[in-house]
Structure 1
Amino acid sequence: MSRLYFYLFVILFSGTVFNRIYAQPNTGEFINASVGLGIVAPNDESEIDGSGFYAQAEYVWAPRTWFGVRPYAGLIIASGESDEDEIQGLSIKSNAALLGAKIRLVAPIPYVAPFIESGVGMSIGSFETHTEYTNLKKDGVLLHIPFTVGLALGRRHKVEVKFTYYYHDAVDQFSGAAAFGLSFPINND
């Protein structure tokens, strides 16, 4: 857990160094890059989950300070197995490329702007859910529903902190991340 706090500090500190980065509470076009600690867990009542890596890039078109459209491409690599001896053989895995589009609604509040996102997308990769209640394994293309909550922080909203999830109903699991993002303007108007 202390390693997670170190990564959080490094990302927040590096976000304050950049002078020309903005989160969506500004209008215009941006490229948003996010990275974080990936997670995967089943939709059922099992006590298994997994962790890994998450990265995503988004093209942001924000015609208003409170609304934006965000096509995205990303990557999630996360897996986990049961540690308990009495329930061996339980595992979960989500290794996939993510493609789709979301809309973002923002409360354009100075210094701390909360936001929520949702949309539709597809995951291309390998998925496994082996629990007491579910035994599924699929490769290929699956539909997912993205959902994100977060905060755009700072005087000019230079850093994003968010929890993002991708629900894969076909394999009874969700993947996602605790992530940080930075936005870079495409045009300097």
Structure 2
Amino acid sequence: MSLTLRSFFISIVLLFLFPNLAKAQTEGKFIKASIGFASSGSYYIEDYGTQDEVDVMGGGLYLQGEYIIGLKSWFSIRPYAGAIFESVDKDQNVQNQPQYKVTTNAFLMGGKVRICAPIPWVAPFIEGGIGTSIGKFETFTPNVNFNKSTILMHIPFSVGLAVGRHHNFEIGISGYFHPAAKQSTGVFALGYTFPLD
């Protein structure tokens, strides 16, 4: 078990044993802004044939804003809106080969909940929820051919650390799973939280 995961479970136990020590997240209302790098890939591990020559995974910019409703010092509800803009470099040197690619270019909206461990200065958290993506999705691999501009359901999941004296800064890894397009998007992002009251 990794050190971060072990710390997270220990923190959850401490949260229930000593709830008055929970200072990882403040009750109230906040806005969080995040920016990062997104990369999309297919659910399937496949033999792409030309994987050495063609970049299959899409990569690009990730932006997101959240309205945070802190109900407890360790629990919050988070409606969110954001966007992912990805592309794949085209290799003009590949002759008579399909251009396999997995990209997402969409606006995201939905809701999630966060459970945060009460550790001063560095607080691990985990999030999950459900949302909608509106945009263009391409999953073109040897076994999948999905290319649509549409509205799809997605499932967000995140883990990360809220750091600083007031836990205003965040470092996180997120996943947005699009079952209909048979693809998922991984995100590495940095965030900052602004209090509203």
Map residues 178-189 of structure 1 onto 2, 5 A cutoff.
Answer: 178-187=188-197
Deviation at 1:174, TM superposition (A): 0.9
Match of 2:32 in 1: 32
Match of 2:75 in 1: 67
**RMSD across aligned positions (CA):** 1.9
CA spacing shift, 1:40–1:57, aligned 2, 3 Å: same
Match of 2:187 in 1: 177
Deviation at 1:82, TM superposition (A): 7.1
CA spacing shift, 1:169–1:82, aligned 2, 3 Å: farther
Match of 1:4 in 2: none
Amino acid at match of 1:179: A
Runs of 4+, deviation exceeding 3 Å: 81-88
Partner residue of 1:148 out of 124, 143, 158: 158
Match of 1:139 in 2: 149
Contact 1:82/1:91 (<8 A) preserved? no
1:23-66 Cα deviation digits (max 9, x unpaired): 96111100000000121111111463121000000000011111
- Work out the CA distance in 1 between the residues paired with 2:88 and 2:72: 41
Contact 1:81/1:89 (<8 A) preserved? no
Contact 2:24/2:117 (<8 A) preserved? no
Match of 1:114 in 2: 124
CA spacing shift, 1:68–1:38, aligned 2, 3 Å: same
Percentage of pairs with the same residue: 43
Of 144-153 and 170-179, the range deviating more from structure 2: 170-179
- Work out the CA distance in 1 between the residues paired with 2:157 and 2:180: 17
Contact 1:114/1:152 (<8 A) preserved? yes
Match of 2:167 in 1: 157
- Work out the CA distance in 2 between the residues paired with 1:103 and 1:135: 33
Q: TM-score, normalised by structure 2?
A: 0.78
1:98-124 Cα deviation digits (max 9, x unpaired): 010000011021111000101000000
- Work out the CA distance in 2 between the residues paired with 1:67 and 1:122: 23
Query: Are 1:52 and 2:78 matched, yes or no?
Result: no
Structure 2, unpaired ranges of 5+: 1-22
Q: TM-score, normalised by structure 1?
A: 0.81
CA spacing shift, 1:139–1:24, aligned 2, 3 Å: farther
Aligned residues: 165
Contact 1:27/1:62 (<8 A) preserved? yes
**In structure 2, the residue corresponding to 1:104 is in which secondary structure?**
strand
Match of 1:42 in 2: 42
Match of 1:20 in 2: none
Amino acid at match of 2:104: S
Contact 1:81/1:91 (<8 A) preserved? no
Larger strand fraction of residues: 1
- Work out the CA distance in 2 between the residues paired with 1:67 and 1:103: 7
Query: Are 1:97 and 2:133 matched, yes or no?
Result: no
1:62-119 Cα deviation digits (max 9, x unpaired): 1111100000000001132575948542011100000100000110211110001010
CA spacing shift, 1:66–1:106, aligned 2, 3 Å: same
